[in-house]
Structure formats: C-alpha cells, structure tokens
C-alpha cells in the first residue's frame, strides 16, 4: 500500500491475516502517508518507484503538493497532486511519488491484507530481480526507528536506477520494454500467492459475497442482514511513522480488531 501503497513490500510480510470479521467497506485498506522529504540523486524529493501485482491503489491528497509519476503499457505520465486531488491506478502501473513540499496523502488499497503481505515489487536493476532471495537481500531494511532511514533511502535510490532504465527502454521500444520487469516481479511474489488468496477470500471476496446474499434476500422481500447491523470503529493507528516505500506511514492494523456497537 505506496500506501500500505499501500507500503509493505515482499520484504515485509505481515505475520497474520486480518480477522475475517475485521474489514473496512469493500475490503479496502487505509493508511496516512507522509511522503519522504529526502532528495534523490536525480534532484527530486520523494519515494520509491514500485508496482503492485494484484491491488489497485488510490490517493486522496490531504496537504502539500507534488506529483505521482506513473509508467505502464500506455506510457509515462506525471500527475500533479494538491489538496483534494483524488487519483488511483491499476495493478501493473509502476508509480513514484514526488514531494513538492509537505505532501501528505490518505492512501486507499484494494484487497486489504494483500499489500501488507507483500503485494509490491520495487523497480530494481535487473541483476537484483533474478530470484526472490536476491531481491530480498537488496530490499530488506535495517535498523530501528530513525536509524532505518538510511537503508530506506539506499533502497529507494537503487529502485530509481531501475525506474530510469525502464523509462528509457520504453521510449526506445514501447510497451514491450516492461515485459521482463513484469515477469521478474511475478517470479518474486509467486511463493506468496497461497497466502494472498487466503487473505482475499477472508476479506474482499467475503464482503462481495455478503453483498450478493443481501441482494438475494432483498429480492425475496427479506433482509436478515439488517438485524445484525453495527457501527465499527478502529482504534488509533497501531504504528506511527513506519518506513514504507513512499514515505512514513501511520498504519491501521485491522488484525488488531475494531470495536462494534
């Protein structure tokens, strides 16, 4: 997700899936993202370019300004961001956040549980994408708290090298230039797919099935689901300022449970 985009990577799997009864509407995940304010070697300030394989990601800009750089089979796009901007993109869209000053975003991820379990691959140079072990060696963060920032920036800068190469290759070759990266990303995440499927079934798939059952009941003139209606509330973020791919995250952990009234 840049958040739990969405901000977990294959290097940082969650230890447990969300409880089946804990799910935000539509099975989405949310986090508050404060985009990195450290300058990169290309002179821009911001986060780490990466791609999601199964999840869509959305932004609602709360404060500050900047842009999101995206690259997919349709080409490269630079989309300005300012308070009130709402943008989202599909799996397969490589994205990088650029911080123009004070950029803070409410991020929304589909399939809550999958981003936390590693649905993201960074655009590292090809020699770091040969297999899962090599990728993890290049992307695992070290240190705790503020001491983790240098390794997060090294990881970002390495991904920017690969992103620049992908952009150049796309300009020369067109959409086919992304094929090798996509294939490498699939190989890196494949061991996680049984866990991803389990999380999807317990989250977004379950909620969609419940909606189908509600529609069936309404067509029959009944509505038993209305009798179990509750108000749900998450506690305060379970983690503040966690190092993610695009910036520092305040994370809401559904697995910690919500109150119901």
241 φψ region: left (φ > 0), alpha (ψ -120 to 50), beta (else): left
Instruction: Enter the pTM of the model.
Output: 0.90
- Provide the residue range defining the domain that includes 82: 25-209+233-252
pLDDT digits (tens, 9 = 90+) for 150-184: 999 999 999 999 999 999 999 999 999 999 999 99
Q: What is the DSSP string of 172-236?
A: HH-GGGGHHHHHHHHHHHGGGHHHHHHHHHHTHHHHHHHHHHHHHHHHTT--GGGGG---EE--S
What is the chain's mean pLDDT, rounded?
Answer: 90
What CATH code is carried by the domain that includes residue 172? 2.60.120.10
Position 222 in a domain: no
> What's the number of domains the chain is made of?
1
Position 146 in a domain: yes
Position 11 in a domain: no
């Amino acid at each position: 997700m840049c958040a739990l985009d969405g901000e977990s990577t294959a290097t940082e799997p969650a230890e447990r899936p969300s409880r089946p009864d804990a799910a935000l509407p539509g099975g989405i995940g949310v986090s508050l993202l404060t985009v990195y304010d450290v300058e990169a070697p290309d002179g821009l300030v911001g986060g780490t370019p990466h791609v999601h394989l199964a999840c869509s990601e959305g932004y609602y800009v709360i404060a500050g300004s900047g842009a999101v750089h995206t690259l997919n089979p349709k080409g490269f796009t630079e989309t300005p961001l300012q308070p009130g901007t709402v943008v989202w993109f599909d799996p397969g869209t490589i994205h990088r956040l650029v911080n123009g000053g004070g950029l803070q975003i409410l991020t929304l991820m589909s399939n809550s549980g999958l981003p936390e379990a590693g649905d993201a691959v960074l655009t590292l140079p090809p020699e770091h994408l040969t297999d899962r072990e090599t990728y993890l060696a290049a992307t695992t963060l070290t240190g705790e708290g503020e001491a983790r920032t240098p390794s997060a920036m090294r990881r970002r800068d390495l991904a920017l090298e690969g992103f620049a190469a992908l952009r150049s290759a796309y300009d020369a070759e067109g959409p086919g230039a992304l094929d090798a990266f996509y294939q490498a990303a699939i190989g890196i995440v494949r061991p996680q797919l049984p866990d991803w499927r389990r999380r999807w079934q317990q989250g977004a798939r379950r909620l969609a099935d419940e909606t189908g059952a509600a529609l069936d009941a309404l067509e029959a003139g009944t509505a038993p689901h209305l009798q179990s209606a509750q108000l749900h509330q998450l506690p305060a973020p379970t983690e503040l300022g966690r190092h993610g791919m695009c910036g520092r995250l305040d994370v809401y952990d559904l697995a910690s449970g919500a109150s119901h009234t």
